[in-house]
Structure 1
Amino acid sequence: MRHADVRGTRIRVHETGDPEAPPVVLLHGIGRSLEDWSLQHALLDGDYRVISLDMPGFGLSQRLPAPTSLPVLADGVWATLDVLGTGPVHLMGNSLGGAVAMTMLASAPGRVSTLTLVNSAGFGKEVTAALRLLAVPFVGRQMLRRIDRVTAPRVERTLFADRALVTPERVAMAIKIARQPDFLPVYLEIAKALGGFRGVGAAWRSQLLESVAPHVKPTMIMWGERDMILPCAHLEAARAAFPHAQSHMFARTGHMPQIERPEEFAELVRPVLARVSV
């Protein structure tokens, strides 16, 4: 675990495996951190250079100067990978991280070897009420300021079908992240850029899917059937957008299959990664 200097911004990075092996890049969701991918490092780094990072303004990374948007986040991740010295990468994104991964593919298709989308944003209007409320003036700001030992466990419980995964460590990390100076403005910026009280915006979704359609890569799309954030019905729209992709629905699983079903997750993505020699 270290911080990389990316255009004068400190970006937190976790890197394991052989530096000469094909790189796998893991992207987290809104308001989250690289800890959401920690279990996959040990499952994949025997054959790959596994890189997870706190995207700019999230986790323990500093924000970039521009208002936070999908292109800004995608550019920040590419800039981080430039500092780390990677060639083409296998991209995996959970939730917001999936939308960022698709934006990265659209902006630099030659740098992407495979794409794995996990309960990804971008495939439907429906989203948890908590994220829709962030668009209400003053309400969202107050909600984000009140992430503490009472509210943080409630938020964590919405992410998992297995409540045992709401551990003291995860709650403590959520509170630590919420206390970072960039957390509140960055969260509100990206939430408002992507949607409002009525749900996830349609315009950016259509534009993004149109922009990635010409760039066919080996693709895996996964969803947890008990996702309370982005409903599993979105998987059908994802399959339609990526007709060439493989897909999988995890039974009795919430918003983060990479945590709730770590071994099964790794077994499913390995054949996709193996289809391309980076």
Structure 2
Amino acid sequence: MTTHMKGTSRRGYLDLPHGQVHYREAGRSGAPALVVLHQSPLSSATYEPVMELLAGHGIQVVALDTPGFGMSDATPGQWSMSEYAASVWQAVDALGLGTVHLLGQHTGALIAAEAALSGRERVSGLIFQGIPLYTDEERAEKAETYAPSYTTDADGGHLKVIWDRIRGLYPTISADSASRQVAEYLSVGPNYGVAYPAVFRYQVDPAALAGIPTLLLHGTEDVLDRMNDVVTAAFPHAPLVTIPGGTDFVAEEQPEVFAAAVAEHVPVHARVHGDGRRRRRTRWHGPLADRSARRAGRGRRGAMSRLPEPFERSCPRPASPRVSAGPSVRPRAGSGSRPVRSPSPRRSTLVQPPAGGRLLPSG
């Protein structure tokens, strides 16, 4: 059984004020940097299958285990969203990175949003892989009921409780993926919902994020796909890219398609906004002390195809339509126009390319 808790990416630990933070990294030092923030209560292992593929697109990708999750040390108490965001910048500094792109999923998307507000000058762009924009009523209800703790049973009955929760949330994922998630839940402990109080107290301010290049990217079966109309109205200039059939774990289910979609966004905006400078590392422990001696398996800068530009114009139909196997793109309104609120928007599709090929737009 392959659960990719270990994988092939380089792994290490950073010494931060609250304790150690575990991370995974792939790609060439000095390439456009992407920092990935996972959903709760899971870990960076979610992104292990896509790490080297992102590196192959010329991206230096770092996936962090949020403090208290995966193999990172627990926080000393109940943290706020601003404290989780502060730990991201501490990790970025410890890694010696300058300007970065942030990709966050669910809880990680909220952390990314808050990190962008507190360190805007260091953010070249954002990718939200499902961002929860709950109403006040939803936040209050979820704060009361969403993630009840479990009791460790001598007969292992709590393992079934965890398994049933995972299967209830994601009924179509593979047994391997569900098995890995059981291990991730166990790594946090009975109070696996430790980050959710911060999530349900936090309100995103989309207007404050205006001007930061933003991509909305997730699978069509993601549990937050239902929020598309709300999210696209909140971020009217962010293109929406959905990957057909992908669940919350589309990065491991369709890693090539996911990596290609990310690669359409990150290097382009890194070239525009990145300053190319690297900061001096603070104290840390890991396998990156001698990068030049370990280049086996490193990514190379490959040819990149761009999302249809400008985003406010619909993608043209090709002369010979192809069967869609890649992500669909919802162009957003242009500057000065009203958000698109149609409940049945026209979506254009990027057809998954053959090896070495380009993404092609279709209707």
User: What are the residue-to-residue correspondences of 1:3-152 with 2, within 5 Å?
Assistant: 3-7=13-17, 9-46=19-56, 47-122=58-133, 132=142, 135-136=144-145, 140-142=148-150, 148-152=158-162
Q: Which has the larger radius of gyration?
A: 2
**Larger fraction in helix:** 1
How many angstroms apart in 1 are the aligned matches of 2:83 and 2:29? 27
Aligned-pair identity in percent equals 25
- CA shift in 2, pair 1:153/1:13, >3 Å: same
1:241 aligns with 2:217: no
Q: Deviations over 1:116-164 (max 9, x none)?
A: 1112223557979xx93x7359x8123798885423433443565643x
- Deviation (angstroms), 1:238: 1.5
Is the partner of 1:80 in helix, strand or coil?
A: helix
Contact 2:103 2:127 (C-alpha < 8 Å) held by counterparts:
yes
Q: Which amino acid aligns with 2:254?
A: R
- CA shift in 2, pair 1:19/1:274, >3 Å: closer
How many angstroms apart in 2 are the aligned matches of 1:93 and 1:126? 24
Contact 2:133 2:230 (C-alpha < 8 Å) held by counterparts:
no
C-alpha RMSD over aligned residues: 2.9
- Deviation (angstroms), 1:80: 0.8
How many angstroms apart in 2 are the aligned matches of 1:71 and 1:172? 31
Contact 2:150 2:190 (C-alpha < 8 Å) held by counterparts:
no
- Deviation (angstroms), 1:184: 4.3
Count of residues paired in the alignment = 257
Runs of 4+ in 1 over 6 A off after TM superposition: 125-128, 143-147
Contact 1:225 1:252 (C-alpha < 8 Å) held by counterparts:
yes
- Deviation (angstroms), 1:39: 1.7
Is the partner of 1:245 in helix, strand or coil?
A: coil
- Deviation (angstroms), 1:179: 3.4
How many angstroms apart in 2 are the aligned matches of 1:175 and 1:127? 26
- Deviation (angstroms), 1:223: 3.0
Q: Which amino acid aligns with 2:195?
A: I
How many angstroms apart in 2 are the aligned matches of 1:147 and 1:7? 36
Q: Which amino acid aligns with 1:111?
A: R
Is the partner of 2:264 in helix, strand or coil?
A: helix
- Deviation (angstroms), 1:62: 0.7
- Deviation (angstroms), 1:31: 0.5
Q: TM-score with structure 2 length normalisation? A: 0.63
In the alignment, which residue of structure 1 is the partner of 2:175? 166
Which residue among 244, 250, 253 is the counterpart of 2:243?
Answer: 250
- CA shift in 2, pair 1:66/1:153, >3 Å: closer
Structure 2 stretches lacking a partner, 5+ long:
1-10, 275-363
- CA shift in 2, pair 1:235/1:144, >3 Å: farther
Contact 1:103 1:208 (C-alpha < 8 Å) held by counterparts:
no
